[in-house]
Structure 1
Amino acid sequence: MSTTTDPDRLLLDDRRARILQDLQRDGRVLSTVLARRYAVSEDAIRRDLRELASQHLLKRVHGGALPVSNAFEPYAVRRVQEPRAKQDVAAAVARWVRPNQVLFLDGGSTLTEVIAHLPAGLNLTVITNNLHAAVALTDRPDIHGVLLGGTIDSASHITSGLRALEDIQAVRADACLLGVCGLHPEHGLTAAHQEEAQLKRAMVRQSAECAVVLTRDKLGTTAPYVVLPAADIDTLFIEPDVSGEQLAPYRQLGIQVLQ
């Protein structure tokens, strides 16, 4: 069997591996820049980006690509990732919460962790579609917990659907705490599924404040469905050791960053 194409395949694989390294380092790649860097045509780079996107290794956007969110991993995988970071972020959220608030609490493992960090005596009402947070609330008789109705999403471990949307629309909350699939200063807050994005938007519309809770692995990444522009976020919670340089684009949009 002929192996004349093997050197070309090796060169192609090496270039694609380097593109992923560029993306990890810079947080974004442009087709025109990559074409000059690797001395190939922009068509060749576009083919590279299409192939890498088909493997869920990056997210193609007009003119280049962005890092892809890990939101497509099952909840059982995500819930054990970065436990210390999630605890740090949850503690920052708990310091921010004020007595007597009515809060929407979104899905996600970081927001589940928030329940354990909320101090006693705040007289809160927490309305959530997060099944694990709802279970955690059964151990908090000092918090009035409300589970949104709807269909159980076995991938994200949330309730969703028309019933959940109607339940959200019947509430005026002081703030919503949103989980995040991806957050990018230009491409905004994004979700893995269209219905999930719709529920998040509804929580924002029904709340006086919008707070986003995430760990660094979601920062600068994107998922397929846009929830809202980054500039519409009031407060962003993230780990204490994320650098000011990484957070500068969000602060420039007027977002309060708490660590």
Structure 2
Amino acid sequence: MLTSQRKTAILDTLSRDGQVLAKALAEEFGVSEDTVRRDLREMAAEGLLQRVHGGALPASPATADFAHRQSIESVAKRAVARAAAEMIVPGQVVIVDGGTTAVQLARCLPRDLRATVVTHSPSIAVELVGHPSVEVVVIGGRLYKHSIVTVGAAAIEALSHIRADLFFMGVTGVHASAGLSTGDLEEAYMKRALAAHAAETVVLASADKINAASQYRIGEITMASTIVVERNTPAALTDPIAAAGVTIVRA
């Protein structure tokens, strides 16, 4: 079997099963595990998959910068944001992560909502200027320009006195076994810290993030109490997540 044929077969298996194991692929292709690992390294370098111990997972395609992602509007993304916004009860303290879906969430909040929003995203803060009854607490720190959020020790320290009811988390990867992940190490630390300061974490997940993984792990899938997905997300992708005890909300 040619290298190109092996790589096509690997992608087909990833699409079907959500993961591949190097040992099983070596047996299937009749080649050494070293050969399979080389294929996986090359495919990972091309952004086609995410390598993990013993094999690989589908790679998240959600890696473009904020400006590019914001230009890609979709009905499904707005539906996810709207469903998330409806979870907020007046009087609550909620943490809103950065990201384009989170910006849509802010836009979906009723103008007369009375609540406190804590965010490390300047974009979210600006969206809420026109909400007279929403108290906005902005977490400072080093600005990570790719996602337009603050990160680092100063941002994490600023969270020390905050206890929120809900945290709306943005991710680039949601996978039943690999958990929640993102494409930047400091962002992963920040998201983990934000989740630790909320009673419940709600993950906003467009279809391209389900059954995918990025380089930096935020935590187990059970870090999320709820994951909001697009209405037409296949049950085959969400059933393993639901089996772990996470509530799936279809928007």
TM range (shorter): over 0.9
Q: What is the deviation of 1:244?
A: 2.4
Residue-by-residue CA offset, 1:177-200 (whole Å, 9 max, x unaligned): 110121111111112222111111
Whole-Å separation in 1 of the counterparts to 2:222 and 2:150: 27
Match of 1:23 in 2: 14
Whole-Å separation in 2 of the counterparts to 1:41 and 1:212: 39
Match of 1:165 in 2: 156
Whole-Å separation in 2 of the counterparts to 1:108 and 1:197: 14
- Match for residue 47 of structure 2 among 51, 56, 68: 56
Q: Unaligned stretches of 5+ in structure 1?
A: 1-7
Match of 1:85 in 2: 76
After the TM superposition, which residues 188-203 of structure 1 pair with which residues of structure 2 at under 5 Å, given as runs? 188-203=179-194
After the TM superposition, which residues 62-73 of structure 1 pair with which residues of structure 2 at under 5 Å, given as runs? 62-73=53-64
Match of 2:133 in 1: 142
1:225 aligns with 2:225: no
Any conservation in 1 of the 2:62–2:208 contact (CA below 8 Å)?
A: no
Match of 2:204 in 1: 213
Q: Unaligned stretches of 5+ in structure 2?
A: none
Any conservation in 1 of the 2:171–2:204 contact (CA below 8 Å)?
A: yes
Match of 2:94 in 1: 103
Q: What is the deviation of 1:48?
A: 0.4
Structure with greater Cα Rg: 1
Total equivalences in the alignment: 250
Moved more, 25-34 or 232-241: 25-34
Aligned residue for 1:79, secondary structure, equals helix
The alignment's TM-score, normalised by the length of structure 2, stands at: 0.93
Q: What is the deviation of 1:70?
A: 2.5
Whole-Å separation in 1 of the counterparts to 2:73 and 2:178: 25
Task: Quote the RMSD (CA, aligned, Å).
Answer: 1.7
Any conservation in 1 of the 2:111–2:130 contact (CA below 8 Å)?
A: no
Aligned residue for 2:117, secondary structure, equals strand
Q: What is the deviation of 1:91?
A: 1.1
Q: What is the deviation of 1:82?
A: 5.4
Match of 2:249 in 1: 258
The alignment's TM-score, normalised by the length of structure 1, stands at: 0.90
Whole-Å separation in 1 of the counterparts to 2:226 and 2:45: 34
Moved more, 20-29 or 163-172: 20-29
Following TM superposition, where does structure 1 have runs of at least 4 consecutive aligned residues deviating by more than 6 angstroms?
A: none
Q: What is the deviation of 1:79?
A: 2.1
After the TM superposition, which residues 123-138 of structure 1 pair with which residues of structure 2 at under 5 Å, given as runs? 123-138=114-129
Aligned residue for 2:86, secondary structure, equals helix
Q: Percent identity?
A: 38
Match of 1:3 in 2: none
Moved more, 77-86 or 119-128: 77-86
Any conservation in 2 of the 1:191–1:226 contact (CA below 8 Å)?
A: yes
Whole-Å separation in 2 of the counterparts to 1:213 and 1:160: 20
Any conservation in 2 of the 1:112–1:130 contact (CA below 8 Å)?
A: no
Whole-Å separation in 1 of the counterparts to 2:58 and 2:231: 22
Q: What is the deviation of 1:63?
A: 2.0
